[in-house]
Amino acid sequence: MLMQPMTPRELEVLTLVASGASAKEIARTLAINSRTVESHINHLKLKTRSRNRAHLVAMALEEGLIDNPCRVAAVIHGNIAAANVRR
């Protein structure tokens, strides 16, 4: 049960968490600081009353807040691989 509405950025972070991305990977993908990502994750856990990331993702899928995260994973990992090549 969602306690408060999520921001568009929180939904982005949630989708990326569900795809298996780490905070650092999410930060690179969204061009934000990894501490900001952790802050978004903490807010999401509070809003959903989740105990951890796995519980957060399970609740989000159950509530229909996110779609199949497997489709997102391919895009994320493609972006990360491209970023690593550019370094």
Choice between 80 and 45, residue whose per-residue pLDDT is larger = 45
Kindly tell me if the per-residue pLDDT of 49 is higher than 80: yes
- Rounded to the nearest integer, the mean pLDDT of the chain is 84
**Dist CA 55 CA 38 (whole Å):** 16
Contact 20, 54 (CB under 8 A): no
Predicted confidence (pLDDT) per residue in 3-14, tens digit: 788 999 999 999
What's the whole-model pTM score?
A: 0.77
**Dist CA 59 CA 77 (whole Å):** 24
User: Locate tokens 């996110």: which residue?
Assistant: 66
